Amino acid sequence: MSTFRFKALNKNGEVVTDTFDASSKNEAETFLDDQKLKVLFLEQEKKKGALVSIFENKNFPLREKIALCRYLSLLINAGLPIGESFELLITQSKNSVVKKVLQDISISLNQGQSLLSCFKKYPDYFDDIFLAMVRTGEMSGTLSKSFDYLTRQFKQEDYLKQKVVSALLYPLVIISLMGGIGVLMITFVLPRLARAFLHLNIDLPLPTKILLETSLFLEKNVIFLILGIVIIIAAIFLSLRSVIGRKLGSYLVSRAPIIKGVFVQYNLARFTQSLSALMQGGVPIVESLEISSKALILHDKEKLAQRFKEKVTKGLSLSVVFSQEKIFPPLMNQMVGIGEKSGNLDKILIDLSLFYQDEVENTLKNLVSILEPVLMIIIGIAVGVMVFAVISPIYSLIGKIQPK
């Protein structure tokens, strides 16, 4: 797909300037003709450099997905054709990425393509859960319900993410401030003290010597220090965007002693959310399990999905299948078993997702309440070491001063 920039006149004679994606210039001209626009200028934009494309924001925000699904459910339920629904959404969208995606989908729909094939062009934005719900809605003629289920699914996902971010924000800010103040002290304040002490030519304690010599070295190489920090942060950011980096990150987090519990509860909340939405949307159980497994943040989720498929195909119940996997606790297995016997499995899964959301929130609150005094102790120790290293030679110097 290429990006085209255009200037045209609309029905009211007003000048319209915008960009959109199309596979060719002919397709771009056809799209503008369908929009009843008189083209004044049409040009294909040049591709950006590799470095710019890496750091460019190309996300389809979760809040935009919620709005898209909510509006599509409302418009389709009101009887508006799907093509006209997208044209209406294009005029309301302010996000450039979202607008380009909607414009491309509108072009494809006008060419007679199915809605599912349109969304499949953007696997980075629309995951397997989204595509499965759209496919089921198209096949059964219940697209409005499918988008309604997706709206609720995305709302729950957004709520869970906001809770995690808000709970971790305070300790992250404190740690960042600690690091910033530490760098400022060791590269700006301590070097001035170091030069004063070293010029006095007195014996200094070993910890003081190490601290002062380190501060002088870092002062001379402060540019390399800042550059190294930036490179490390950029490397972590880029690695987490890769498949191998995400797998390694999930492996390490799942084995971290303090946050392991939060990690498991967060995964259970995502899994039960996805599974309940897919089952309510009419997706077959084997496919629902396979897709829901992909919502997990685990390094071996592909193997887990394959085991689910094999065991359910053999006729085993979900409660038995879940009980054979370590990640699923006994409470969940028992609740799923009750849901299977009563025929209310989708409702049980919704209750479980809400339960694990609350567990994540409560565990994070407890974790933050523990982190607060721990961080204060660490700050106190760091300040104490620095003060001792600086004050000790001062007292030593004063002790050598003899009155006349």
Same fold, 62-155 and 156-404: yes
- pLDDT, one tens digit per residue, over 38-91 is 877 777 766 544 443 444 456 788 889 999 999 999 999 888 888 888 888 888
CB 216 within 8 A of CB 197: no
Work out the burial of residue 62: count CB atoms within 10 Å of its CB; fewer than 13 is exposed, 13-18 middle, 19 or more buried.
middle
Q: What percentage of the chain has pLDDT greater than the value 90?
A: 3
The pLDDT assigned to 1 comes to 63
> What are the DSSP calls for 249-312, one per residue?
HHHHHHT-TTTHHHHHHHHHHHHHHHHHHHHHTT--HHHHHHHHHHTS--TTHHHHHHHHHHHH
The rounded distance, in Å, linking the Cα atoms of 351 and 279 is 14
The pLDDT assigned to 280 comes to 80
Secondary structure of residue 317 in the 3-state scheme:
coil
Please state the domain extents for the chain: 2-47, 62-155, 156-404
In this structure, what DSSP letter does residue 325 have? Answer: S
Mean pLDDT, the chain, rounded, equals: 80
What kind of fold does domain 62-155 have according to CATH? Receptor-associated Protein (1.20.81)
- pLDDT, one tens digit per residue, over 375-390 is 788 878 877 777 777 7
Please provide residue 4's backbone torsions phi and psi, each rounded to the nearest 5 degrees. Answer: -115, 135
Domain 156-404 top-level CATH class: mainly alpha
The pLDDT assigned to 70 comes to 92
The pLDDT assigned to 55 comes to 41
- pLDDT, one tens digit per residue, over 196-212 is 776 766 677 777 778 77
The pLDDT assigned to 396 comes to 64
* Region at 112 (left for phi over 0; alpha for psi -120 to 50; beta for the rest): left
Q: Per-residue pLDDT for 5 more than 80?
A: no
Q: Which residue has the higher pLDDT, 328 or 258?
A: 328
pTM: 0.66
Residue 4, beta-bridge partner list:
20, 44
